[in-house]
């Protein structure tokens, strides 16, 4: 029942999100040392019809997993995962289009993740410490990659991986490792299939986080 409700609400919210994104209000223009960049001149990305079913599937999965153990603590983590799915999808679509992860979305995602995580593990300081260490280590690792790649790996990915590391760290260190591995494998597969040397990594990072965070409980390895 909960999964069906999640699917219906996901379709509705996904359609609202799709229409909002298709207005392309996130595209901006700016000037820097390399010249003027105007995202508004990019080609139209099309209707992006796949947004509602993707959000519906992810929300149905979250509520389906949480249904058997619906408590206040799990309601908090459920809220966090639902927010991760919708805000993460918004960030992923923008990153694919303009190769940029807006700070506004990152801040909202980080804030909801922090509040939901603390509510979930308030009486388990060791879990919070594990999540914090995971977030810091993920951020440090990606910062090093950002510097070594001279910006090929964007700084937005550095900030995003900290939020992803925090969420997966609330589950277990195994979830963090699995999420990063899945993200890298998905990105590598996309690069090989499309023969692309440059592409947005944010969507794959978010996909790996969701797949690891929701997939491991389904396999019985961990609980949310």
Q: pLDDT, tens digit, for every residue of 150-177? A: 888 999 999 999 999 999 998 899 999 9
155 found inside a domain: yes
Mind listing the pLDDT tens digit for each residue in 7-25?
999 999 999 999 999 999 9
What integer pLDDT is reported at residue 130 of this predicted model? 94
Which is nearest to 116 in space by CA: 171, 79, 162, 154? 79
90 found inside a domain: yes
> What does residue 48 show for φ and ψ, rounded to 5 degrees?
50, 55
Indicate if the pLDDT at residue 86 is higher than 80.
yes
What integer pLDDT is reported at residue 124 of this predicted model? 82
| Residue 30 bridge partners (DSSP) | 37
Residue 22 CA to residue 53 CA, distance in Å, equals 16
Mind listing the pLDDT tens digit for each residue in 29-79?
888 777 788 888 899 999 999 999 999 999 998 888 876 665 666 677 788
The CA-based angle 176-178-182, given to 5 degrees, is 120
Region of residue 179 (left: phi > 0; alpha: psi -120 to 50; beta: else): alpha
Q: Residue 163 is part of which domain span?
A: 2-218
223 found inside a domain: no
Is 195 strand, coil or helix?
A: coil
Q: Which tokens hold the place of 133?
A: 């260490």
Number of domains in the chain: 1
Taking the chain, what is the end-to-end CA distance rounded to the nearest angstrom?
Answer: 19
What integer pLDDT is reported at residue 83 of this predicted model? 93
């Amino acid at each position: 029942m909960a999964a069906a409700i999640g699917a219906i609400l996901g379709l509705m919210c996904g359609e609202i999100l799709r229409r909002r994104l298709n207005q392309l209000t996130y595209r901006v223009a700016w000037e820097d040392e390399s010249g003027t960049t105007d995202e508004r001149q990019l080609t139209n990305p099309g209707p992006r019809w796949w947004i509602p079913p993707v959000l519906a599937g992810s929300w149905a999965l979250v509520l389906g997993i949480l249904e058997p153990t619906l408590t206040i603590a799990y309601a908090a983590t459920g809220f966090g995962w639902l927010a991760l799915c919708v805000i993460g999808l918004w960030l992923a679509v923008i990153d694919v289009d303009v190769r940029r992860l807006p700070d506004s979305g990152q801040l909202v995602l980080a804030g909801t993740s922090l509040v939901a995580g603390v509510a979930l593990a308030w009486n388990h300081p060791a879990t919070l410490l594990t999540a914090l260490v995971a977030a810091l280590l993920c951020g440090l690792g990606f910062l090093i990659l950002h510097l070594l790649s001279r910006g090929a790996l964007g700084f937005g990915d550095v900030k995003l991986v900290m939020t992803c590391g925090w969420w997966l760290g609330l589950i277990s260190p195994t979830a963090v490792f699995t999420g990063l591995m899945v993200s890298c494998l998905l990105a590598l597969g996309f690069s090989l299939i499309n023969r692309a040397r440059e592409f947005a990594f944010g969507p794959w990072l978010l996909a790996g986080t969701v797949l690891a965070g929701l997939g491991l409980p389904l396999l019985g390895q961990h609980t949310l």
